[in-house]
Amino acid sequence: MSVPNRILVLFAHPALERSRVNRHLIQALKGIDSITIHDLYEQYPNLHIHVKHEQRLLLDHDIIVFQHPFYWYSSPAILKEWQDLVLEHGFAYGHGGTALQGKKFLSVITTGGSQEAYCRQGHNFFTIRELLAPFEQTARLCGMEYLPPFVVQGTHQLHGSEQISKHVNDYHKAIMALRDDTMHWDQLRQQKFLNHNLDQTIRTPETSQHAQ
């Protein structure tokens, strides 16, 4: 049995008590082996980020997840502060900055607007993948592989526990597949979003046996 990938979830939500979706998503990952949930607003209420501690966390994990609501086409403030301070020259990029090379990076975001709002004809004009380009380029600059993002859209229109539960179950399934390395990586890299065609990109025990 292979060693599971260690996953670090950098979670940023400044008003978790008012969250409609993120609090359910993060709850689904609590207590799972090899998954570290790191709530930045809880850890750093005064925004005084401990850079060396954060860098050690990055070194100790194989897959780095940014989970947050999509505020003003970006992240909540603490996650931007985290990037500015923790991803130092000589550590994450630049001369000698090879600490993160070979790791994988995943964006997990929620948007109030629907999928139709994020296109040339929509209210937000740009697509989600276009708006996530700064995160993708950050990952590339650090030598990390940027995975197709996990995106929950139209959260304002989600009504009832069943609709939210579908996204929660998909998130749990996706993270477990990343942890256990049961993804069809070639298929995954062709997807626009991680949670599209999820069942086709995860190997079942039968397909894993045939692949051996």
Q: What is the CATH number of the domain that holds 146?
A: 3.40.50.360
Alpha helix positions (H), 30-158: 40-43, 51-59, 77-86, 128-131, 133-141
Domain containing residue 52:
7-211
- Span 187-191, mean pLDDT? 95
Q: Count structural domains, the chain.
A: 1
154 near 114, Cβ under 8 Å?
yes
Q: Is residue 1 part of a domain?
A: no
162: confidence class by pLDDT, cuts 50, 70, 90: confident
Q: Is residue 25 part of a domain?
A: yes
Q: What's residue 2's pLDDT?
A: 78
Q: Is residue 183 part of a domain?
A: yes
The values of phi and psi at residue 18, to 5°, are -100, 0
205: confidence class by pLDDT, cuts 50, 70, 90: low
Q: Is residue 92 part of a domain?
A: yes
Q: Is residue 2 part of a domain?
A: no
Q: What's residue 18's pLDDT?
A: 86
Q: What's residue 137's pLDDT?
A: 98
| Whether pLDDT at 97 is above 70 | yes
Q: Is residue 146 part of a domain?
A: yes
Q: Is residue 30 part of a domain?
A: yes
Distance (Å) of CA 148 to CA 88, 156, 200: 25, 23, 14
Helix (H) or strand (E) holding 8: strand 7-11
Q: Token pair for residue 5?
A: 């990938």
Distance CA 152, CA 180 (A): 23
| Whether pLDDT at 209 is above 60 | no
Q: Is residue 21 part of a domain?
A: yes
Cα end-to-end distance, the chain, whole Å = 13
Residue 125 CA from chain centroid, whole number: 23
| Whether pLDDT at 210 is above 60 | no
| Whether pLDDT at 124 is above 80 | yes
Q: pTM for the complete prediction? A: 0.94
100-118 confidence digits (pLDDT tens): 999 999 999 999 999 999 9
